[in-house]
Chain A
Amino acid sequence: MMESLYSEHLLRHARSPHNYKEGGVSACVVSVLNEGCADDLTLYIDVEHGVVKDASFVGTLCALSTASASLLTDYMHGKYIDELRLMTPGLVYDLLGVTITESRTRCALLCYQALQKSLTTCFPSKN
């Protein structure tokens, strides 16, 4: 049997996700859909002076998407928006700490996809 995706670390975040809540009125709100299964995720990012003050999410999600969003929103707290622009999918995989098979990349990267969308819609680069 292959190594399981469902490590204790991943399951901890899936069972009790961090930052699972709607954001405040000042937050940037973006929604994305997982085209593979029609799951949806809404990401809220509140930024002050170019720094993420709060990041949270809600949605209909599998365990992997939930854990990924939990870890990624944790990571985003206190980061400069310009730092987040440099993020790659590899960092999400590192946060998850497990091997992501091709069939689950959409799940693993759903919150990352929402972040990318928010960077272009709410926080476009001035360069």
Chain B
Amino acid sequence: MFTRSHFPSLQEGYIYLDSASTSLTPQVVIDAMDTYYKDYRASSHRAMYASAVRATKEVEKVRVDIAHFIDAQEEEVIFTSGSTAAAQLLVATLEHNLKLQEGDEIVVTELDHHATFVPLQMLAQRKKMKLTVVPADEKFRVTEEAFAKCITPRTKIVSLIHASNVTGTIIPVERYAALAHENGAFVIIDAAQTAGHITLSFKKLGADALFFSGHKMCGPTGVGVLALKQKWIERCIPPYGGGGTVHSVDAEKTIFLPHKSKFEAGTLPIAEIIGLGKAVAYIQGISPGSIQAHSTELVAYALSCLGQKPWVSVYVGEDNVGVVSFSIAGVHPHDIAHIFAEHSIAVRAGFQCAELISRKLSSSGVVRISVYGYTTKEDIDACMRALDSVQKTFSI
């Protein structure tokens, strides 16, 4: 698995179990960005001097690497500043380009993250569309039966989270994407929790669009990817204009570029893209398949430990990306997380930016443990000791 010494944040005694929020960054990623700032700091895609040419080459190399990483075409890869920005860009693009009518429908799932749920809810309100939420079942799954019930001939947009950031459940999105397409809907996949954690194939998943952030997969903050099918890139006018998007501009009109650059307005996050490229290389050096196996083993271990504590209510999907959430009756999740922090253990508490499912599980939200390639069983053991401390403090 990952070599822990590659991650400078992993100081002695610090236990990091919040990778679903943001992962730690290996030194090679930091070095790659540092090199850009020191050796060839320049804007990409703009100028002819040597450092600018190098910056452009590096950015475009990352685009190719990302395309391989998610099994997409290079021309389908659009850089953004993160998942939420990708979702906003996508929703605005759909609003400008799909002929959305009052009474048309948007389908989201109860597991969806606010990054997609909120902009789609806002779109539904603006266009007087119906927003349908597919409920999760008692095992925190979105079943095919429940999903199929929500799809109608008026469904225009479907949002599917590839894996829940609350219960870790991996959703078989490819089956649902096919079903949505039979009804002519545009399919969005939020892969923020799965990119760099399991093997991804944009082609096989069958969605029209997929997005993820760099910072949840060993990369830096401030960079993400929106993969958009070529036919949509060709067909859609961009919702935001600016430098880098245009073929020509005169006083009357702007003609946009015919390719993905029309969605990349302004200066790109160059250093972050270069860092993301290095993160992809780092993960490919291990293989996402083995990262998933490691996470599965740790989730199973955490569940066996939590099974010894009947006062803890656990919420975890069976097919899991590496996330375990829990609550304790009568103890607020922030008090639990505070005691964990007193033990130098980083966990997340509350609604996890997915309030629908979190509030359903527990009224004040949950505490979440999330693992990655640098997490060990000893980290889980420390977590259990912190839980014992919670039990003692609150006389459970």
List residues of chain A with CB under 8 Å of any chain B CB.
1-2, 4-6, 11, 15, 36-39, 60-64, 103-104, 107
B334 contacts A by Cβ under 8 Å: yes
A/B interface sample: 14 pairs, CB < 8 A: A1-B342, A4-B339, A5-B342, A6-B339, A11-B394, A36-B334, A36-B350, A38-B364, A39-B364, A60-B364, A63-B332, A63-B335, A64-B335, A104-B338
Number of interface residues of B (CB under 8 A): 21
Question: A-B pairs with CB below 8 Å: how many?
Answer: 50
* A4 contact from B332, B349, B350, B393, Cβ within 8 A: B393
By a CB distance below 8 angstroms, the chain A residues around B391 are none
Q: Bound complex: CA of A107 vs CA of B334, how far in Å?
A: 9
A61-B338 in contact given A37-B350, A38-B351 (Cβ < 8 Å): no
CB distance from A69 to the nearest CB of B (A): 13
Q: Bound complex: CA of A39 vs CA of B332, how far in Å?
A: 10
Q: What 6 pairs across the A-B complex have the smallest Cβ distances?
A: A62-B332, A63-B335, A62-B334, A6-B393, A37-B350, A62-B335
Name B301-357 residues within 8 Å CB distance of A: 331-335, 338-339, 341-344, 349-351, 355
Q: Bound complex: CA of A37 vs CA of B177, how far in Å?
A: 34
CB distance from A62 to the nearest CB of B (A): 4
CB distance from A13 to the nearest CB of B (A): 13
Q: Bound complex: CA of A25 vs CA of B331, how far in Å?
A: 31
Interface centre among A5, A39, A63 (most CB of B within 10 A): A63
B183 contacts A by Cβ under 8 Å: no
CB distance from A35 to the nearest CB of B (A): 11
> Which residue of chain B has its CB nearest to the CB of A11?
B393
> Which residue of chain B has its CB nearest to the CB of A106?
B334
By a CB distance below 8 angstroms, the chain A residues around B35 are none
B365 contacts A by Cβ under 8 Å: yes
